Structures are given as C-alpha cells and as structure tokens.
Structure 1
Amino acid sequence: MKYLVTIVLFFIGFGKGFAQSGLIPQPVAYHRNSGEFTLTALAKLSSDSGVPADLLKLTQEQIRALTGFTLPVTSAKASISLKIDSLKVAQPEGYQLRIQPKSIELIGHDPAGLFYGVQSFVQLLHQSKNLRLPASQIIDYPRFSYRGMHLDVSRHWFQVPFIKKYIDLLAQYKFNTFHWHLTDDQGWRIEIKRYPELQNVAAYRKETLIGHKRELPHRFDGKKYGGYYTQEEVREVVRYAAQRHITVIPEIEMPGHALAALSAFPALGCTGGPYQAATFWGIFDDVYCAGNDSTFTFLQNVLDEVVELFPSKYIHIGGDECPKTRWKSCPKCQARMQHQGLKDEHELQSYFIQRMEKYLLTKNREIIGWDEILEGGLSPGATVMSWRGTEGGIEAMRQKHKAIMTPEPFVYFDFYQSLYASEPTAAAWYTPLSKVYSYEPVPDSLTAEEASYLLGIQGNVWSEYLATEAHAEYMIFPRALAIAETAWSPKKGRTYPDFLRRLRLNEPMLKRLKVSYADGFDELTDSVSVASDGKLAVRLTTTLPQATIRYTLDGSTPKTSSTAYHGPVSLGKSTVLKAAVFAGNQQQGRVFEKAFTVSKATGKPVMIQGSPAGNFKPVNPRIAVNGVQGTARYNTGEWIGMLGENAEWTLDLQQTQTISKVQTNVLRYHWQRFWEPTLLQVWVSEDGKTYQQVYQQTEFPINGINPVNGQFTPKKARFIKLKALNKGIVPPGEYGAGNKAWLLLDELIVD
C-alpha cells in the first residue's frame, strides 16, 4: 500500500495525463508532461556524496558512446543530478526519474537503483530524435529480486570481450544475475591452479560434431576445439559485472556432465577410464564416482578456488541429468550406499549433493541446483532451479525452499524461435517470442506464503548449436527482453502488443550496439481448423501494425498484386499456400510456405488410445487429420508421440467408402530416442466390430521421416485402425539405453 501512496504523491500536480513509454522493461509508472529536455555538450552531471565514483564514470561512458561528448562532473547545481535517497525511493533497486525542460533529476534507493535509472535514461536517449527527451516522470522498481540470464560456454566457448558485451546488454535491460555455466562433458572452461590438467587436457576436445546430433552418420570437423578462462580473466569479468550491478554465479557441474574432468582425472570415474571430452551432445553414463573419497577431495579443492574468484552468495553445482548406470555396477558406490543406509542410487545422488552443500556452507556459501536435486531428498538449504517444467519449483516452494523458475518449454533459447525452414539449426522445439512473454512465473496452485519462496526467473542459453557469437545473439535477443520484462515489471498492465511496440522502438539501440538480434518477430504465423466435410480454414496472422498479408495458392511467390488476406483461407483440396507481409509496397520478412494435404480422412473423427506424452501430446486428436504433416524438426505440434506405449488410432470415415491407400509417417531418430515401431498394421472395417488387416510394414530404414504408403486391393470400409508396436525400451549400446523409447506418428491420409 505504501508503494501505491508513493506513486500517487509523486504524480500529484502533473496534470497532462498518462502516456506510454518506450522502455523495456516497462516501468511501474510513467507520466508524460509538456515540453522537452535537449541534451547538449554543455550539460553537466552532479551527484551527492553517496553516488559511487565508478557509477558516475560509467554514466559518462554510456552517454559519450551515444553522443560523442563527455559530460563533466561538478559539485555545483547541474542540468543532470544523481542522488541516492532511500526515503524518497523506498524499494530496493528502485529509482525515480524526473525529466523537465531544463533539468533531469534521478534518485535511486541505492546504487543499483540509481544505475537502473541511468539505463532507462540511456534507453530513452537511444529512442530520441536529436537527443530531445520528452518531459516525463518515472517511478520504477523490480518485481523479483532474482533476474537472471544463463550462458553455457562448455559446448561452445565465448571469449571475454563477448562475455562483457553480454553483461552490458543484460545490465541495459535490468538483469542482475549472470549464470555462467563453466563445466560440462564437452569442456572445462575455468583455470584451477591446483589441477593444471584441467586447463591442459579437460579444456579441449579432439573434434566437434557437424550438424544436428540426430543426423546419421555423425560427422565431425576433425579440429581440436577448446579454451578456458584464466583466473585473472574471471576476476575481470566478475569485477566488470559488479560495476553494472550484476552478480556472476558460476556453475561447476556434479555429479553428472563430468566427462571433460574425467578425461584429465580418470581415477575419479567408476570404471577408471580412459575417458575423453565429449565430441557431440547429449547425456553420458560416465559420471563422478560417488563412492570414491578422492572425488569429493577433488571437487572441494576445485571449489576452494572457485569461491575465491566469485563473491556470489550462491554456487551452482548442477545436479541434473546424472545417469545411475555406472553407480549401479560400481563396487565403491554400492559400498557407499550400504555404509550410509541409502536405499537406491537417487538417495546416493542426494548424499553427494548434501555432502558438497555442507562443504560450501563452511565457506559461507549456498548451493543452487537443477530440479533433479529434489530426487532422493532435498538438501536443507538448497535453492532449486526448476527447468523440467514448473513442477520442481512448485514442490521446492511447498517444502519451503527457495526456487528460481526457468522452465524449458518457455525460457530455453537454444530452441527454434520461428518455424520457417530457413532458420539456422537449433536444439529442438519451438519457443517464439510470444510464448516467452506469455510465461507467468508465479504458479496459481501456490498459496501466498508458498509463493514467497520464489526468488525470480531466468532464461537459459545452451550452446550446442551456437558456434558463433552472432548466432548466440540471434538466439538470445529479443527473447531475453521478454524475460527482462517478466522479471522486472508488474504483472498487471503488461500486454504483448505493447511490448512489441516498445521492442520496435528499441531496435535502433540494438543495431547501434551491433547486436545480431532476430528481427522476425512480426513474421506470419498460421493456425488451421478443419471441418467434418474435409475443408480446411487457414488463418494467417502478423503482429506488424497496419500491414497487409498477401497470398497465393498456385505455387508462385506473393507480390503486391497477389490476393489480399481478409479472413481464413478455405482449402478443399491439397494445396501449397504461400504468403508474405507487406507494409505499403515493401515486403517485410520472409515468405511463409506450407503444404496442406486433403484426403478422405481430413476432418473425420479419430480416437487415439493410450496416453500421448510430453511435447507430442496433441491439443486435440484431430491434429491427426488436420491436413498438415510433421516436419523433420518435429517441433510444429503435428507429431503424436507415445513414450514406451503402443499406438492405436481408430478413424471413422462416417460412411462406408471404397479405399485403397492409407498413409502416415514414422519419425526415426535414435539419437533423440525416437524409435521406429517393430510392426505397423492397417486394419479396416465396415461396422467397427469386425476388422480385416490390409497392410503391414516392419522396415523403417530412413534416419528421419519414414513414409508409410499402405496400398492394398480396394476395400469398402468406414472404420480404419492403425496399430504400431513401440520398441519399448531403448536397447543396450544405443543412446539412452534402458529408457523408454518414443514412437512418433503424424497425419493420417486415406484415399
């Protein structure tokens, strides 16, 4: 209530009404007044005694980078004044910014709040014309105390200048945490002076996978790859970030994702090796041996040096994706379990994490781990990063543990942000900017007390397919800006259309800062509905204001004379639809293209037995008959997947017809645990009771999409049953051995 009173009092006497700012994140309150302030080389900066000198210097540098002139600092009254006053600004990290025709006053609750006010001022300068700022007042403070972005430098290594640029961008958009993922199977990236083998051996892999790991045969570039940050470089990054009020949290992975470290110290693994840093992406069975005391000695010695380099309250210890295969057959691990009275390997992992947590507590540090650390019992003081959805975070908060929400479906930026075929290779799935912005981190299922354990939100950037700095920026921005707004701005009053309006105003700044951001957020998207008569209705959408969509159905590229879109496009036969967005006579972005297949099955009722799972659970069973086939990227929502279960679909043509072909597709990617069925059959019936088998297939040799072209002697049928037997369990020696296999099918086509 006191915050609301503060806002009301602040705006009393400013009678020009509210307006919209161009700021990201959206401020708590913005008020536009008449007049403008023009920044010139004659302006000066003044500050009170509480303003740190390095903040003043940074303010000068940011203004000089944009304007070309350096504003002098004076103790006398100046046109731009910076102050710290925790009474006038009650909220930590908060600020008030008052722009008047002849002066600017910026007041922060603390140095961080003052810094964020400067970032808003600089952002407004980037959006100004001739450095003329509209007179206005802003009250602003963060929604969450933890506002983070992550970067994996193990799979691909980014040098210090890029790390600093990344930190600059995070600071500009009011993030306060940089989660630096420094070790993994593919490379160890931090110098540990006690163990020079980590720099000489573990920091390098002999070669790197070319293309996506699902592609077979695997191809490699044959080039040694790697590098690491010296301790001096780490200190420089930490210092640089601290000046920008960003805390750097290091991640040292354990007990899994340890192949790089084991390549240097094979005695720390269950088998003794030999090991080598992984040359491709995935989860590997070889992990730190939990029964070997040398493992804990090694990790404690590593952490001794890590905590000296990073003053952060938290140290991230991973804890995710740790297979128990080696532990199950390791005499030392089994002896540890027996000695500690642990009932299974999950409790052994909990023992491992808790032992490391106790050690870090002696260093006055706390641990953060991925949500797998919940398995087998959560360490008493641990903070959980919920990545496999929201369930881990919810469970942690119900147990009164702190949590940070970072769910894979919404905030993983190694996923595709567009479904256009020309997108560069990404890990999988589809996370457009709109989906990132839609995520609300406070679960409805929690009480207010439980939700109080939520520290905030983080976006994650895994670098398997990010081989260059430009590609990394393309995947991160502008999606990171959506995270920034969710983390900082009040939930109420935020809308996606207004976020896009402000994003467009931010584009000139991103270009000046040479950010290779993805600018296709206004490109066409589509949705398809299907009627029982087999006709499709295709809806096309763009978020670009006052744009015209034009389309063709004859295979030609849309141009200004092509048919203008005014509503759903009706399709009654198989067609390739192409469309493009136009602003006036100028095409905006890429051409949209999609093939639609209309058959006797299209729009007819279909029943799917069993339980489709994960990302392959359809919104509606009619996905199987909506005229759209799945793609090799398997991220469009058209594939229907069974995890360890058989597939059985029953289609009702609603009247008896003569048919001679039933088609579908099977997706086979063993390196994604997508396995072909051991047997696929097609059965037909006139009455839905007595079925006759008309086709079967046992060979699916293609690594990718395997067409099923079930041709047979013409039969009269109303009902069609498609049966496919799941592989069940991934066989020994294959990727993911021992886990349930996926069985993926898509569109059902009948002629």
Structure 2
Amino acid sequence: MSSVGSDHGPACPDLIPQPRRLQVGAGRFVPGKTLTFWAAPEADPAARLLGDWLAARGIGWQRVDQPDAARLRLVAAPAGTASEAYRLAIQADSIVVGAAAAPGFSHAVQTLLALALDDAGVAWPVVTIEDAPHFEWRGLLLDSCRTFISKAAILRLLDQMAALKLNRLHWHLTDDQGWRLEIKRYPKLTEIGAWRVRDGVREGGFYTQADIREIVAFAAARGIAIMPEIEMPGHATAALAAYPDLGCGPGQLSVGTAWGIYPNNYNAGDDRVFTFLEDVLHEVMELFPFPYIHLGADECLKDQWKASSECQRRIAAEKLGDEHGLQTYFINRIAEFLHRHGRTAVGWDEVLEGPITKHIVVQCWRDEAVIKVALARGYRIIAAPRRHCYFDIAVSQVDLTDVYAFDPSMGLADATGVIGGEATLWTEHIAESEMDHMLFPRLFALAETLWAGPAAKEATDRFVQRARRVTARWRSAGVNAGPMLRDDAPAETMKGRKDLHVPPAGLDQIGLGG
C-alpha cells in the first residue's frame, strides 16, 4: 500500500487527515439510482448519515437482510480492533467498511464523503484504506459566552469537525460575559445571566435543555462527544449577577460587557456556593453523557477573597495557607464531587499552582514547559499551547505551518499521559459570521497533526499543497476560509484579534517563573 503523503492524482481526491495506509486502484464505484446496503448494529448512526447524504443527491438507500445481497456493507471488525479504527475497501462492484464500534464507522463514512467524485454524478474511486488515529483526544473549543453562537452554526460546525475526524467539542458555556445553559433549578442564570447591555443594545442568548439534548445527539451521531465547561471559581460575573449572594463583593453586579479578567469570584468560604454548584452540575451531568466536565479554574483574581472574612475563616479552618491554597481547595472539592458521580474534572493549567487531586485532567494552554511539569507530576494532559492552537489569534502570528508544527507529545520519550490536543476559538472579537475565516484552513493542520501523530506526518511543504487543494474544495462548498500563511494575509484581512503574548502570571508557582 502507498505510504502517507503520496499524490493520488485526480482519480482520488485529497484527504485531510491523510489515512495511514491508502492504495489506489483502477476504476470507480457508481451507486446507480438505488444503493443497497447492510449494516451491523454499531454502524446504524453512520449508515443513516450516508443515507441522508445520498438522498440529498437523488440516490435511493435500501437496506437488505443479507450482507451478500448488499452492494455496500458495514461489517463488524475482528475483536480487539480499536474503536476509532476502520478499513474501507472500494471496488468497482462493492464497498465494504469494517469497524469495531460506532466511531470507526463514522470515520469511514466521512472518508467516503470526502472521496466522492462529482464530475459526472456520484461515484467513488477504487481504493483500499486502513486507518486509525494516533491521539485519543482531537478537539476544538468553542466559546459561546463572549459571542452567543446560534444552534444552527453549532450544528454546521459539528459537521465540519466530523469531516476532519475531530472527536471532542469543548463547549465554553459560562463566563463573566454570559451564562448560556438553562438550569431548571436556578432560572435566573438565564433570565439575567444570559443577557448584557452594550451601547444601549441588549444582546446574548442561551440554549434550552432541549437544545442541548438535540446538539449532543447530533454530535454523537457523528462520533463527537461534547465536554461542557462550567467556569469556577473565577469568570463568574454572569452567575453572580443572577445570584449575588453567592459572591464576595458588595452590591448588585451586571453581566460583563468588557473583555479581560473580572475580579468577581464565587465565595469559597460559603457552603451555599458548593450546594449551588453541585446542583448545577447534577443538571449538567443529566444533559451531557460524556464523562469529562471542564471546571475552568483559570485567571482567578484573589483580591475579593483576601477581603472576605468568610474566605479567611475557611483558609484558617482548613489550614490552606493563603488564597492560592483556597483555590486548590475549591477545585479539589468540586473535582472529588464529580469523581464520586463517575465523572472526571478538567482544568486549565493554573490548577498546577497547588496540590491538585489526581482525579483531574490538566489542559495546558500557556507553554509547552507546563506540559512537561504536568507530565512529571503524573497528570493526564490535553495540550493546547497558545502559540500553536489559539485560532482567535491572527494568521499573521499563528499560521497553518505553526499549527502543523504542533507536537502534543513534545518529542518526549514517554508522553503517554498526553491524551491529545485542542484548538481554541475564543470569541471576544469574533462574530459568528467570522468563524469559518478564523478556523479554516488552520483546523486542517490541527486535525492532521492529531490524527497522524508526530512521526507519521508528511513534510510541511507537501501538507501545505494538499491543504490548498482541500481549502479550494471547501470554499466551493460554501466555507469562507481565511488565509493560510502569513504571506497570504494582507494587513487589511488580518483580524488583529489577540496578541500572541502568553501571560506569565502563576508560572512561578508551578516552578517555571523567573
């Protein structure tokens, strides 16, 4: 079989991510007016997606009772096959997909869709593919707080993620500038916390629990799990505007209208706060079946805690030492609550500033050196270093080659604790209509990197050429992709969103200050 990186010519469209093994044959498979299929039970979600795609092109999709009677068969792979692995064999008279679980069938169908030839009606090239991902966690963070993102845009994004075999949507749902998730027990979170007034204009929105269930099911059918992020103990202004008694500061707050870090934290000395958060998380767990829940735990200013008699009493009673110890206590308490309920907490790398529980996954955003510290301490890691993975930063500072150079495992001999990586799309300065522009084609590089792994990636210049061809195809399908390289980005198109500077605050407390 051909190695990764081969040029397959016009008979075989370029794929991102590139399969591990691909052999191109002669001829093509033409489905005709009706395509008969047989599917193992695990393949049903993927079969429905393929059937919908064919129906949209006027091709019938007929299930048959016996595999031998079907021109397209989705069959169970041998025991021991990894859940995301698949084998795809397209011959002139048949297509056979083999996988062990729903994610593998989903990836195979996405490969089928990407391979479809449309020069003279639907057809597929004769190919044989054997494929599986290197990293378990291949994600994208979407910030719905700073800019409220419509349900339709999220569903469209999930389809785009599935096409690239990304399997984790990290959904940032609460922050200073908005609380976006309906919580039945605390209705003011969305009655008040979901809305802000800027320049006299009321803006915002939230997702009902029915919306959440629909989005979660839509994602699951495409092999994507959704991890919600419920920020604590900082980034809490919207929640405290709704329920001010849960904070430390005096008076009524308003939902944040400016960007940056607000000083408003939950009152870590008040047990009512933990009751509130546990109530919220119970509803979150009912809505999101994925076992990981992100707690944020970043950028927590301590001034209000220093001035709070309740927080100071907590510090003294628990022998926490100072406000940094109080933050560790807070996150440990919630992480252990989640652990007792069969869930795993995730936190930004600020959690390393104290003796945090091992029942937490660390998401490293500041510097690769932080990843090394977290690994040395025995934590599992999601890598998202800003200089490779922050897609709200202009292409002039982080272009496709910077993303492609990303190695979550840091070249370390033992990086088994690194479960994968994420791109992030923070939306302080990004409208919903600009999401395509900021994500693509850079997301192609992230998908390729996380699927292939560092050792299997082809040379950068070859990937850039393949990405250009795939970008052109996506643009023709209506994706408003932005520039690829710095030289492609004239000054007037640079989004100027955020500077690449990585704030050093807190690095001294995990042994990296200086």
TM-score, scaled relative to structure 2: 0.90
**SS of match in other structure, 1:206:** strand
Is 2:110 aligned against 1:119? yes
What's 1:471 paired with? 434
Structure 2 CA distance for aligned equivalents of residues 473 and 165 of structure 1: 10
What's 1:26 paired with? 18
Aligned 8 A contact 1:171 1:245 in 2: yes
Paired residue type of 1:34: A
Q: Deviation at 1:642?
A: 13
Paired residue type of 2:435: A
**SS of match in other structure, 2:41:** coil
Aligned 8 A contact 2:35 2:59 in 1: no
| 1:140-180: CA deviation from partner (whole Å, max 9, x where unpaired) | 00101111111000001011111111111111111111111
| 1:33-66: CA deviation from partner (whole Å, max 9, x where unpaired) | 222223432432222x43443332111112333x
Aligned 8 A contact 2:87 2:129 in 1: yes
Structure 2 CA distance for aligned equivalents of residues 312 and 634 of structure 1: 31
Aligned 8 A contact 2:35 2:60 in 1: no
Aligned 8 A contact 1:402 1:453 in 2: yes
What's 1:483 paired with? 446
How high is the sequence identity, in percent, across the aligned residues? Answer: 36
**SS of match in other structure, 2:60:** coil
Structure 1 CA distance for aligned equivalents of residues 42 and 37 of structure 2: 12
**SS of match in other structure, 2:192:** helix
**SS of match in other structure, 1:295:** helix
With a CA cutoff of 8 Å and minimum separation of 6, indicate the structure with the bigger relative contact order: 2
Structure 1 CA distance for aligned equivalents of residues 362 and 394 of structure 2: 26
**SS of match in other structure, 1:202:** coil
What's 2:173 paired with? 182
Q: Deviation at 1:257?
A: 0.3
Is 2:324 aligned against 1:361? no
Paired residue type of 1:386: C
| 1:405-435: CA deviation from partner (whole Å, max 9, x where unpaired) | 01111101110013xxxxxxxxxxx111111
Structure 2 CA distance for aligned equivalents of residues 143 and 267 of structure 1: 47
What's 1:56 paired with? 47
Is 2:63 aligned against 1:73? yes
Paired residue type of 1:205: R
**SS of match in other structure, 1:72:** strand
Q: 2:205 aligns with which of 227, 237, 246?
A: 227
Q: 1:198 aligns with which of 178, 183, 189?
A: 189
**SS of match in other structure, 2:282:** helix
Inter-CA distance 167–126: structure 2 relative to 1 (3 Å threshold) = farther
| 1:291-330: CA deviation from partner (whole Å, max 9, x where unpaired) | 1111111111111111111111111100000011111121
Q: 2:405 aligns with which of 433, 438, 442?
A: 438
TM-score, scaled relative to structure 1: 0.63
**SS of match in other structure, 1:61:** helix
Q: Deviation at 1:382?
A: 0.6
Structure with the higher helix share, 1 or 2: 2
Aligned 8 A contact 2:176 2:238 in 1: yes
Inter-CA distance 493–228: structure 2 relative to 1 (3 Å threshold) = closer
Structure 1 CA distance for aligned equivalents of residues 82 and 204 of structure 2: 44
**SS of match in other structure, 2:35:** coil
Is 2:92 aligned against 1:101? yes
Structure 2 CA distance for aligned equivalents of residues 632 and 176 of structure 1: 29
What's 1:150 paired with? 141
What's 1:400 paired with? 378
Aligned 8 A contact 2:144 2:173 in 1: yes
Q: Deviation at 1:19?
A: 5.0
What's 1:497 paired with? 461
What's 2:510 paired with? none
What's 2:350 paired with? 372
Aligned 8 A contact 1:98 1:106 in 2: yes
Structure 2 CA distance for aligned equivalents of residues 158 and 226 of structure 1: 9
Q: Deviation at 1:128?
A: 6.0
Aligned 8 A contact 1:269 1:286 in 2: yes
Moved more, 500-509 or 432-441: 500-509
Structure 1 CA distance for aligned equivalents of residues 360 and 164 of structure 2: 28
Q: 2:164 aligns with which of 173, 176, 181?
A: 173
Q: Deviation at 1:633?
A: 8.3
Aligned 8 A contact 1:19 1:31 in 2: no
Q: Deviation at 1:248?
A: 0.7
Structure 1 CA distance for aligned equivalents of residues 226 and 207 of structure 2: 14
What's 2:37 paired with? 45
**SS of match in other structure, 1:364:** coil
RMSD (CA atoms):
2.7
What's 1:253 paired with? 231
Alignment of 1:566-715 (within 5 A): none
Alignment of 1:240-279 (within 5 A): 240-279=218-257
Structure 1 CA distance for aligned equivalents of residues 416 and 382 of structure 2: 11
Which runs of no fewer than 5 residues in structure 2 stay unpaired? 506-512
Structure 1 CA distance for aligned equivalents of residues 292 and 500 of structure 2: 38
Larger Rg: 1
Moved more, 250-259 or 30-39: 30-39
Paired residue type of 2:369: E
**SS of match in other structure, 1:524:** helix
Aligned 8 A contact 1:61 1:70 in 2: no
Paired residue type of 1:248: I
| 1:98-122: CA deviation from partner (whole Å, max 9, x where unpaired) | 1112222111132211110110010
Aligned 8 A contact 2:170 2:227 in 1: yes
What's 2:75 paired with? 83
Q: Deviation at 1:510?
A: 2.1
Q: 2:474 aligns with which of 487, 491, 510?
A: 510
Q: Deviation at 1:71?
A: 2.4
Inter-CA distance 464–642: structure 2 relative to 1 (3 Å threshold) = closer
